[in-house]
Amino acid sequence: MPNTGVVISDRYLEHDTGPHHPERPDRIRAINQRLEEVGRCTRVGIIEPRMVDLSLVEQIHAKEYIDEIRYACENDVPFIDTPECPLCGVSFEIACLSAGGVIEAVEAVMAGRVQNAFCAVRPPGHHAEHATAMGFCYFNNIAIAAQYLRNRRGINRVAILDWDVHHGNGTQHSLNRDPNVW
């Protein structure tokens, strides 16, 4: 059993943010290339993402907001809420796959298949608020996973450590009133 699981998928490359956007497919390509160089199959376990159950997303995000993103993608709307959150036709689907990948990582750890996991997913999530996309984020993947642990796995307390250079405002906004999430 590998110690570390990695959620990664070529599907994450399909979310097209444009050639000059800072959050672009090259992030995943670089991670995947490095994993190949170090022999990912022998050192880490690959965790295949799956689509998130939208009822989990609705525990963190307003249904109207979720529907707005889906509608925007189906109708070629160029961005949601702010130009820093560009959309393409598959952005909704890939955002669901991103959140689902984080859930799969949680499940792999909980089932003892890996001791820890790294989620090389996109779009990212920690800036997404209840009904607002921002900071390249559409669904708050980690907040969704925390709710999943609490509601579906019976975990009483969850700690989230976010060491991104920017404040994880969406995660705080989603969970700051819950005394059992730190």
**CA angle (72 as vertex; 134, 63 as ends), nearest 5:** 70
160 neighbors 140 (Cβ within 8 angstroms): no
CA-based nearest residue to 138, from 75, 72, 76, 49? 72
Q: Which of 61, 127, 166, 167 is catalytic?
A: 127
Tokens matching residue 25: 């497919």
Tokens matching residue 13: 């490359």
C-alpha neighbours within 13 Å on the C-beta side of residue 80: 31
Active site residue 126: no
19 neighbors 28 (Cβ within 8 angstroms): no
Q: Which residues are designated catalytic?
A: 127
